[in-house]
Amino acid sequence: MTRYDHWVKKTLERPAFSLTVLLGLCAALMLASLLLGAAYFPRTDPGQFVVNVKAPTGTRLEDTAPDIKQVEAVIRRIVDQADLDVIASNIGVTPGFSSIYTTNTGSHTAFVQVSLKEDHRIGSYVYMDRVRKAVQEELPQLTTYF
């Protein structure tokens, strides 16, 4: 009888004990994984972020545009000019096939894409947090997600 056959026989003779040992081993490994402090997909700085903006439903395009200008002004004020590269905004939906490529759902929605320079000193996640807080305080009528 091989060593493998011996352990299979022992395991099958005492299934409750074998299951308890297996579950205990799994629990110990899960607890140990919490102590590793590593991630499979570590957080990286993409050098850009997108602010999705939603005004109250039914807001006309002419009324949404000034809100987006204010969001852009907040971004320009918060993001250091030495780090800021491009701000591109898209408001509303254009009828037709191209509308499937936008997250906008109507004249009350928009997105503002912010691109940082290659050698930016402050990370995009830091800027995102700062912009999020400022927009919530200064433009409470808007809903944003990043």
pLDDT for res 141: 93
pLDDT for res 32: 87
Residue 123 CB neighbour total at 10 angstroms? 16
Q: Across the 146 residues of the chain, what is the mean pLDDT of every consecutive 10-residue run?
A: 90 92 94 78 86 92 93 95 94 76 83 94 94 95 91
pLDDT for res 93: 82
| Backbone φ, ψ for residue 74 (5° rounding) | -60, -45
Please tell me the number of Cα atoms within 13 Å of 41 on its side-chain side.
1
Q: Is pTM beyond 0.75 here?
A: no
pLDDT for res 72: 96
